Structure 1
Amino acid sequence: MSDKIQHLKESLSQTLVTFYPFAGIIRDALSADCNDQGLPFFVAKVKARLSDFLQNPNVELTKKFFPREEKLPGPGDSVMLIQLNCFDCGSIALCIKFNHIIADMGSASTFLQRWAANAQGLGFAPLNCVAQSSFPQKPSLPNNLTPINLLGKYLSAGKFMWRRYVFDASALSILKAQMSSSSPSSTVSRVNVVTAVMLKCFLETVAAEKDVKPVVMTQGVNLRRRVTPPFPDDSFGNLVWPAVSLWRNPEEKELTELVREVKKGIEKIDGEFVSRLGSDGVYELLEALRNEMPQEGTWLAFTSWANIGLSEVDFGWGKPVWMSGYIPQYYESETMIGGNFVILLDSNCGGIEAWSILNEKYIAGFEKNDHIRKYARFNPSVI
């Protein structure tokens, strides 16, 4: 194991020469100081067999595999943290945290693929910054006028709990057939379908509350594939924008209607939209985003990591048998501050895993929902 750890460290060091933003520190809300400081690399011993964990995955325990932070990262903190977890059986779980100001998961996936290629001695392409020329720096842009800051007001105090729902390929085929039959001319993806099911369950749960607030639903949209012509998939940066949908009266909606709304929200982020983001139109778009946000609301955020190459990362010991999502929660005066998030990942059976962190008050209603019970499996064995 010590040889394996050393090999990973050496190939990481070589990879960071090219992917230098990950070796820097956070400068402010919009930038990093690429000072080649390096990054913290932790090694943890896990007194268990990985196969036992995968047979009965403990979703809450997964967060212990990540480098721990008790506060929101700020100026002077590392852009990326890595923790290598070594199990008694010789298996490993590699976990990373990085600052979303600097990069998105697409960039993190590219970094992992380049690191893995370097570890195998295969050589790798340099950092692709072709998209940066389309988004020139704007010193006049206020630090608080960013999508994450505008949405941050919906974070709340409470207890937030992780849940893992697996939509098998067979269940997705049934759902896609139902959605396509109602709108034969429209193509429905696996991600569209799972997003609609999770949204429906959430809306019905929120509607049962006494004090019902508007539901603000966001979907992270990969700008690389929305611009004309498209940016290369390995373009580095935080090239994501939230598609926002607002549900002022979260009464019961049909799945077919929700799928249409999910797709409509994403389709607004087109080539013209991205072009305006790269010009002075960004100020107008941010103000429009600010104005459409209700003063109070319940936020549900979706992000998809499907089809971005994570399952292909191979350091020479085989491709990963499993991937998990993680969004840290932080404390203010010993009070947990968080939000409702859903991360969608490729499952090892051709389906989609939905990793959800929800306010505890929504958990019971969510898990009793007929659509979850019918189409998803709750935290099944991985192997």
Structure 2
Amino acid sequence: MLAGRLKDNLYVDCNDEGVHYVEAKANCKLSEFLEDPIPGELNRFLPFELDEINELPAAVQVTFFNCGGLVIGVLMSHRIIDALSFILFLNSWAAIARGHGNVVTPPMDSATLFRPQELSGLNMNIGITKDNIVTKRFVFDASAIVSIREKYSSDDKSIEYPRPIRVEALSAFIRSRFMASTQSKPDPNKIYKILHTLNLRTRTDPPLSFDYFSNISRFALSVPSRDTEEGFYGIIKPMREAIQKIDGDFVKMPQQACMNYLSKFTFKNLITFIDTKSGDGIEVWINLKAEDIAKFETDNELLAFVSPKNFVLG
């Protein structure tokens, strides 16, 4: 699949043209990037801009450093691959390189379970922007996350889980600081939405194996309440209810049983959560317009929770 070419946003022509591969040279040490990675600089390790991979299912760039180290930068098209499949591919590649015999052979028949989405009239560039998007990295340590979870907890004993999980709490906090820092007050004529990308493998009945290779994901959309303060009921509860709706019954509905096609990652207002190396903190990578990030990264309440050592301004 990865050695072919995408055709008309509908299928892969398995013509064995091969994965696009290039090599590059960096006149510095790898350690300079590993200590505190700057998102904008990391793009230099990729063979294309994120929105220019086009018909290629995958592309690889190997960058060699003066110290003898190297970086392998991999781009894959979100039209056919989600994050779980991307990780599966990298783990399998690494296992083969190490000579491990137990390499996963992923099922490739997901199109028989989820029909390819009809793309006639569908705007593939929804959410994509050519504006000046800047990516920033903010690190929240364990103690900061505990405080943010308490901030968005509810005292209502009738709620099954009154204390939000880490992702719920951080989503609410980042959203509130974005709104506070980038505008004086919400526009009453505008609907503000939160999208979470969900893995459908765990939500089918019965669940699918994590080894299924494709883009088997779905958006859960929530609209924060205008009438409730941005606490548990205003943002956590609508977010949680939207996610809970994507269940086995939802997936079985004909109009829902299709694969999501996301072509690129040059989205504005995109937030990605990554566990820190220690495992108890979270790195938050945020895509914002340059003028918005300039306001966001100076928000005093945000800075009170961000780890000073790992706060990245580049």
TM-score for the superposition, normalised by structure 1? 0.70
Following TM superposition, by how much is the alpha carbon of 1:229 offset from its aligned partner in structure 2, in angstroms?
2.0
Show structure 2 runs of 5+ residues with no match. none
Correspondence list, 1:217-366, <5 A:
217-247=194-224, 253-254=230-231, 257-276=234-253, 279=254, 281-282=255-256, 329=266, 339-350=268-279, 351-366=281-296
Structure 1 pair 56/70, CA: closer, same or farther in 2 (3 Å)?
A: closer
Structure 1 pair 129/91, CA: closer, same or farther in 2 (3 Å)?
A: same
Following TM superposition, by how much is the alpha carbon of 1:131 offset from its aligned partner in structure 2, in angstroms?
4.0
Q: Which residue of 1 aligns with 2:106?
A: 127
Following TM superposition, by how much is the alpha carbon of 1:39 offset from its aligned partner in structure 2, in angstroms?
0.5
State the AA in 2 paired with 1:159. Answer: N
Residues 96-135 of structure 1, C-alpha deviations (whole Å, 9 max, x = no match): 1111111101101001111111111112121223644321
Residue aligned with 2:6, SS: strand
**Conservation of the 8 A alpha-carbon contact between 1:165 and 1:378:** no
Residues 267-286 of structure 1, C-alpha deviations (whole Å, 9 max, x = no match): 1211111111xx3x339x99
Following TM superposition, by how much is the alpha carbon of 1:363 offset from its aligned partner in structure 2, in angstroms?
1.6
Q: Which residue of 2 aligns with 1:86?
A: 64
**Conservation of the 8 A alpha-carbon contact between 1:66 and 1:95:** yes
**Conservation of the 8 A alpha-carbon contact between 1:244 and 1:265:** yes
Following TM superposition, by how much is the alpha carbon of 1:170 offset from its aligned partner in structure 2, in angstroms?
2.5
Once residues 195 and 172 of structure 1 are traced to their aligned partners in structure 2, the CA distance between those partners, rounded to angstroms, is 11
**Conservation of the 8 A alpha-carbon contact between 1:197 and 1:371:** no
Once residues 243 and 296 of structure 2 are traced to their aligned partners in structure 1, the CA distance between those partners, rounded to angstroms, is 25
Following TM superposition, by how much is the alpha carbon of 1:26 offset from its aligned partner in structure 2, in angstroms?
1.0
Q: Which residue of 2 aligns with 1:198?
A: 174
**Conservation of the 8 A alpha-carbon contact between 1:83 and 1:94:** yes
Once residues 133 and 97 of structure 1 are traced to their aligned partners in structure 2, the CA distance between those partners, rounded to angstroms, is 26
Following TM superposition, by how much is the alpha carbon of 1:246 offset from its aligned partner in structure 2, in angstroms?
3.0
Structure 1 pair 22/172, CA: closer, same or farther in 2 (3 Å)?
A: same
**Conservation of the 8 A alpha-carbon contact between 2:104 and 2:211:** no
**Alignment of 1:31 onto 2:31:** no
State the AA in 2 paired with 1:101. Answer: R
Once residues 217 and 188 of structure 1 are traced to their aligned partners in structure 2, the CA distance between those partners, rounded to angstroms, is 16
State the AA in 1 paired with 2:310. Answer: P
Once residues 62 and 156 of structure 2 are traced to their aligned partners in structure 1, the CA distance between those partners, rounded to angstroms, is 47
1:136 to 115, 121, 128: 115
Structure 1 pair 27/183, CA: closer, same or farther in 2 (3 Å)?
A: farther
**Conservation of the 8 A alpha-carbon contact between 2:137 and 2:286:** yes
Aligned length: 303
TM-score for the superposition, normalised by structure 2? 0.83
Residue aligned with 1:343, SS: strand
Once residues 64 and 37 of structure 2 are traced to their aligned partners in structure 1, the CA distance between those partners, rounded to angstroms, is 16
- Higher mean C-alpha displacement, 112-121 vs 222-231: 222-231
Residues 148-169 of structure 1, C-alpha deviations (whole Å, 9 max, x = no match): 73xx445445321111011112
Structure 1 pair 274/370, CA: closer, same or farther in 2 (3 Å)?
A: farther
Instruction: Name the one with the larger helix percent.
Output: 1
Q: Which residue of 2 aligns with 1:67?
A: 47
Structure 1 pair 377/227, CA: closer, same or farther in 2 (3 Å)?
A: same
Once residues 165 and 109 of structure 2 are traced to their aligned partners in structure 1, the CA distance between those partners, rounded to angstroms, is 28
Following TM superposition, by how much is the alpha carbon of 1:70 offset from its aligned partner in structure 2, in angstroms?
8.2
Residue aligned with 1:35, SS: coil
**Conservation of the 8 A alpha-carbon contact between 1:66 and 1:82:** yes
2:28 to 21, 28, 48: 48
2:140 to 167, 178, 186: 167
Correspondence list, 1:211-222, <5 A:
213-222=190-199
Identity %: 28
RMSD over aligned CA atoms reads 3.1
